[in-house]
Each structure stands twice: as structure tokens, then as C-alpha cells.
Amino acid sequence: MTDTGALPPRDEEAVASFVEHFAQLLVEGGMARMPARVFARLLVTDAGRLTAAELAEMLHASPAAISGAIRYLEQVDLAVRRRARGSRRDFYQVRDLDLWYEVMTRRDKLLERWIGGLEEGIEALGPDTPAGLRVRETREFMQFMAKELPEMLERWRVYRAAVYGAGSPADGQATAGAEASTP
């Protein structure tokens, strides 16, 4: 397996339990079950990457289920496919370069699209009808979030730099030394 090295031993049952619990929390938040399990497993691997075969073995899942989950995670930019130089095997890893910042930045763009769609609904329903008022309040919330999110994300960058400095695992430092390139 890819998770090797001079790291202290850990309770793999506890890790597997965490993976399933965190995956369930992601499912409750709207993610499909198998992508949630694959994402959680990729998140906890010390090597920072796993092959499809390793994921299938660790999650007791079929290759087809892993393939579908990976495809979804790539589409939503939560995971990336890589290939080591000279290898014909792909491996997968959690998207680096401050994953959560990038996810939330894309959410900001999504909020703007939702605001535009909600404005259309307000116009169609009338701003003072009961339904129009609900849609208007939803739009106001989305506008509030769109206004606050960039400032919050900037505070996160400052906080992250203070806590982790330049060597944050999210910057790819955890996988430095692995010669990888995108296929």
C-alpha cells in the first residue's frame, strides 16, 4: 500500500471508524455515500495519495464504485488524479493548495448565480406576496453571505498562515518528494 514509512503506528480500526463517521457527516450534508467515503479515506492517508485498488481494498468496495466516486470528486474539485513519472498507475489525492479555501471561493460564485435566479423568482412571484417574501429573504441571505464570504476567507488565509506557516500540508508539503505530474 501507499501508506508506508517511518510514521508511528496507529489504530487502523479507529481510523476506519473515523472515515465512516466523517463520511456519514458528509452524506448528511448532501454528498453521495461512496464519494464521501473515498474523500474521507483520501483525507486520512499519511502518504497523501492512494490508488483505486488501495481505495477499493480499504473501503471494501468494488472498482466500479471507486471509479464513480473518484469521477464525482474530480468534477467537484475535491480530488485530483495524478501519475508518478514512469508509472502507468494513477493515484488519487485530496486537492491541495488550500482545498477548503478553493471550495468556498467556488461557493461564492455559486451564491452569485443563486442570487440572480432568486431575483427572477421575486419578479415572477411579486415581492410582497407570501412566497415572494420568502424568496426575497432567501436572496437577502445569499447576498449577505456573498458579501461576508470574501472577508471571512481572507481572515482564514491570515489565520492559516499564522498557525501553519508556509509549510502547510494543504500546500502540498506532505507529498513533496513524490514525483508526480498530471496525466
What pLDDT digit, counting tens, does each position of 22-51 carry? 999 989 888 899 999 999 998 888 777 899
How far is it, in rounded angstroms, from Cα 109 to Cα 70?
24
pTM exceeds 0.85? no
Q: Where are the domains of the chain?
A: 12-96+172-181, 99-166
State the pLDDT at residue 179: 36
Most confident range (mean pLDDT) of 4-13, 95-104, 146-155, 163-172 is: 146-155
β-bridge pairing 79-84 and 90-94: antiparallel
Whether 165 has a pLDDT exceeding 60, the answer reads yes
Pick the CATH number of 12-96+172-181 from 1.10.600.10, 1.10.10.10, 3.30.365.10, 1.20.120.140: 1.10.10.10
| Percent of the chain residues past pLDDT 70, beyond the cut | 83
Residue with cell string 513524490: 178
3-state secondary structure 70-116: HHHHHHCCCEEEEEECCCCCEEEEECCCCHHHHHHHHHHHHHHHHHH
Mean pLDDT of 123-138: 90
Instruction: Taking residues 103-132, report their average pLDDT.
Output: 84
What pLDDT does residue 178 have? 37
